[in-house]
Amino acid sequence: MHRLGLFAFALTLVVVVLGAYTRLTDAGLGCPDWPGCYGFHGIPNSEQAQRLAAERFPDNPLEPVKARNEMVHRYAAGTLGVTILLMALWSLKAAHRAYRFPAWLLLALVAGQATLGMLTVTLNLLPLVVMGHLLGGFTILALLFLLLCRGRPPLLESPRISGLGRCYRVALGALVLQIALGGWTAANYAAMACLELPVCQGDWPAQWQWSAFHPHGVSAETYQYGVLSQEERVTIHAAHRLWAVVTVLLLLWLAGRLWRHPPMRGWGLALALGVMVQLALGMANVVLHLPLAVAVAHNAGAAVLLLMLTGTGERLWRYREERWQEARYCPEPGN
C-alpha cells in the first residue's frame, strides 16, 4: 500500500507538471473532443487518420505536436486514476483499514478531476474550470504526500513546540490563495500583461478592473488565448504580484518561526530556500518574457512549496497529538 501511494504521489507530480506544460504550449485544446482525440483513441499520426480528423473537425485543424502534448497528459492522468483505484480497492483489506477513508477520498477527487478535465475541453478552456482543474491537481498531490507522511514513525521528540499553529494556518491560506491567483492568471492569459519590474504598465492602479475576477459565464465560443480586456489582464497580473509579496513575507515569517525550534529547523530552512527560488522564477518569467522552461519550473515550484507546508503541518499536528497523549496518560503531579 505504501509503495502504491509512493508511485501515485510521483505520478501526480508528473501529471501536475505535464498539465502546466500542456497549458503553456497552448495545447489545452490540442484535441477538441474527450476522452479521445479527433475521434481516435490515440494520437492521429498517419495520413489517413489526419485526413479523417480534418473531416470530423473542419473548424479545428489538427496540430500534431499539441495533440501529442494533450494526449500524453491524459494518458498520465488516466494511469494515475487506475493507481488510486487500486489503492482504494486494496484499502478494503483489514490490514490496510487506516488507508480506507483517504484512499476513497482520493478516488472521489480523481473522479472530480476527470470531470473537470472533460469540461476543460467541452467548455473550450473556461477560466473557472481551468483554475479548478489546477487546484484539484494540487489538492490530490498534497493529500497523497500527507498520506505518505502519516505512514512514517514519529520524529518529533523534543521540547514543546507552541505558538506555531496560527502562523502556519495564515501562511498556508496565503499560499493557497496565491496558487489560485496564479491559476487565474494562466487561465486568462494574463502572464504577459505586465512586462516591467517592479511596476506594472506604469499607472496600473488607474487600470484596475474588479470585473477581472468575476466568473465568466459560458458565453464565448472559445476562451483560448483569453477574452478579457488588456486592463482586466493587467489587474489579474498585478493582483498576483501584490499577493506574491504578502505570501513571501508570511512564508519567510513561518520559516523564521520554524528555525527557532530544532526539530523543525530543517523544514524552516527548506521553506526559506524554496520561497526565494520561487520568487526568482517569478521575476525571471517577467524579465525573460515567459520562457517555457522557467514557466513550467514556476508551476512546479508552487507545488513544492505546497508540499513543504503539507509536511510541516503534518509534523506539527503529529507532535500535538503526542503531547495530548502524554497529558492524557501521564498527567503532571497535582492534576
Per-residue pLDDT at 200 exceeds 90: no
User: In angstroms, what is the C-alpha Rg of the chain?
Assistant: 22
- Answer whether 71's CB lies under 8 Å from 31's CB: yes
The pLDDT tens digits of the residues spanning 113-124 come to: 999 999 999 999
CA distances from 315 to 28, 64, 182, 328 (A): 37, 46, 27, 20
pLDDT of residue 159: 43
- Answer whether 73's CB lies under 8 Å from 24's CB: no
The pLDDT tens digits of the residues spanning 142-188 come to: 999 999 987 665 554 444 566 788 899 999 999 999 999 999 999 99
Per-residue pLDDT at 335 exceeds 80: no
Q: Which three cell numbers stand for residue 168?
A: 502556519
Query: Bigger pLDDT: 200 or 14?
Result: 14
Phi, then psi, of 40 in degrees rounded to 5: -110, 155
Q: How far apart are CA 205 and CA 39, in angstroms?
A: 47
| Residue 35 preceded by cis peptide, ω within 30 | yes
pLDDT of residue 233: 94
Write out the catalytic residue numbers.
70
- Answer whether 142's CB lies under 8 Å from 106's CB: no
pLDDT of residue 16: 97
pLDDT band at 258 (very low <50, low <70, confident <90, very high): very high
pTM (whole model) above 0.85 = yes
CA distances from 272 to 115, 249, 261, 311 (A): 36, 10, 15, 14
Per-residue pLDDT at 250 exceeds 50: yes
pLDDT of residue 153: 58
Q: Which three cell numbers stand for residue 304?
A: 513544492
Tell how far CA 144 is from the center of its chain: 13
The pLDDT tens digits of the residues spanning 7-56 come to: 999 999 999 999 999 999 999 999 999 989 998 988 888 889 989 999 99
3-state class of 37 per DSSP?
A: strand
Amino acid symbol at 117: G
Q: Which three cell numbers stand for residue 97?
A: 483499514
pLDDT of residue 82: 96
Q: How far apart are CA 111 and CA 11, in angstroms?
A: 16
Per-residue pLDDT at 334 exceeds 70: no
Per-residue pLDDT at 324 exceeds 70: no
Q: pLDDT above 90 covers what percent of the chain? A: 68
Q: pLDDT above 70 covers what percent of the chain? A: 91
pLDDT band at 275 (very low <50, low <70, confident <90, very high): very high
| Residue 198 preceded by cis peptide, ω within 30 | yes
The pLDDT tens digits of the residues spanning 174-183 come to: 999 999 999 9
